[in-house]
Amino acid sequence: MTSLPDRFRAAARGAGATAPDADLDAAANYLLGRWSEPQRHYHDVTHLASVLDVVDRFAGLAPNPDRVRLAAWLHDAVYDPRALGDANERDSAEFAEGLLLSLGVPEEVSTDVARLVGLTAGHATEETDPDGELLCDADLAILASDDERYVAYTSAIRREYAHVPDDAFRAGRTQVLNALLELPSIYRHADIRAEWEDRAQANLKAELEDLA
């Protein structure tokens, strides 16, 4: 199995990075350190690998799959459960652009990867943005899990927000779930939607009932 640093190096090269392999490996390992921070219970290396696996599986749906892979690596590079609003996504996007430029990724590509990272704040994409659709679909793949994995996911999210009182957490989580259900569809690519949409809709609605 290809290691995660190898996967980062391949995606960076595919996106035009000119830095030496040693610098690309150092960047990958630095990112893995971030993904392993103690406040992460769901948004961790396992989530990163899962998102990358979905991107790889459906790479043919995106015109620039290596940009999507890099955005997957960077979309939660900054993750503080105490941050307000979309601060994590905005900070991750800014970090992404700076890191990629330092690795010799062309400015146009670095800017586009940062844009993709920002989309994960609300997972709302345009039909003319298949790269963004794939990233968001991959990021939300967990929502179509079986019962056991979905319960593990919601439990991990609750641990990340252990500092939030129960009533406030229920209100915030309800808002997040309703926002997802108000999207035209949870999954934007037709192939992915056909496979996962019904299951994800059922999971979210069941969780809303539990929260109520």
Q: Is the pLDDT of residue 105 over 90?
A: yes
Q: Which residue did the predictor score with more confidence, 4 or 127?
A: 4
b/e 25-37 (16+ beta carbons within 10 angstroms → b): bebbeebeebbee
Please give the C-alpha separations between residue 165 and each of 171, 174, 208, in angstroms, as whole numbers: 10, 14, 18
Alpha carbon distance, N-terminus to C-terminus of the chain:
43
pLDDT band at 123 (very low <50, low <70, confident <90, very high): confident
Q: Is the pLDDT of residue 120 over 70?
A: yes
Q: Is the pLDDT of residue 56 over 90?
A: yes
Q: What is the pTM of this model?
A: 0.95
Q: Residue 84 and residue 8: Cα distance in Å, rounded?
A: 29
Q: Is the pLDDT of residue 75 over 90?
A: yes
pLDDT band at 114 (very low <50, low <70, confident <90, very high): very high
Q: Considering only CA atoms, which of 113, 124, 108 is closest in space to residue 55?
A: 113
Give CA 162 to chain center in angstroms. 21
Residue 1 has what pLDDT? 67
Can you spell out the DSSP letters for the chain?
Answer: ---HHHHHHHHHHHTT--S-HHHHHHHHHHHHHHHT-TT-SSSSHHHHHHHHHHHHHTGGG-S-HHHHHHHHHHTTSS--TT--TTHHHHHHHHHHHHHHHHTT--HHHHHHHHHHHHHTTT----TT-HHHHHHHHHHTGGGG--HHHHHHHHHHHHHHTTTS-HHHHHHHHHHHHHHHHTSS-S--SHHHHHHHHHHHHHHHHHHHHHH-
Please give the share of the chain, as a percent, with pLDDT higher than 70. Answer: 100
Residue 124 has what pLDDT? 84
